[in-house]
Amino acid sequence: MSIRIEGIERVFSLVTRLPQGAHFSIESKGGKPHLEMQASGDVATARRALFPGVWKKKFQEGCQWWEYQQTTADGVDLKIYADRVGPKSCKRIEEEVTKTVHVPACLAHDEVQTQTVVRWECPEEEAVDGP
pLDDT tens across 49-91, in order? 999 999 999 999 889 899 999 999 988 999 999 999 888 888 8
Looking at residue 47, what is its pLDDT?
Answer: 94
Query: Could you tell me which of 42, 43, 69 has the C-alpha nearest to residue 56?
Result: 69
Residue-range domain boundaries for the chain: 8-87
DSSP label of 131: -
On whether the CB atoms of residues 131 and 46 are closer than 8 A, the answer is yes
Q: Where are the beta strands (DSSP E) in the chain?
A: 24-29, 32-38, 54-60, 65-71, 77-83, 91-101, 111-121, 127-129
Q: Does the pLDDT of residue 1 top 50, yes or no?
A: no
| Percentage of residues in the chain having pLDDT higher than 70 | 81
Query: Could you tell me which of 62, 41, 39 has the C-alpha nearest to residue 118?
Result: 62
Mean pLDDT of 3-30: 83
**How much is the pTM?**
0.74
**pLDDT: is 49 or 114 the higher one?**
49
On whether the CB atoms of residues 78 and 50 are closer than 8 A, the answer is no
Q: What is the DSSP pairing of strand 127-129 with strand 111-121? A: unpaired
Q: How far apart (Å, rounded) are the C-alpha atoms in residues 118 and 131?
A: 23
Cα torsion angle, 28, 50, 38, 117, sign: negative
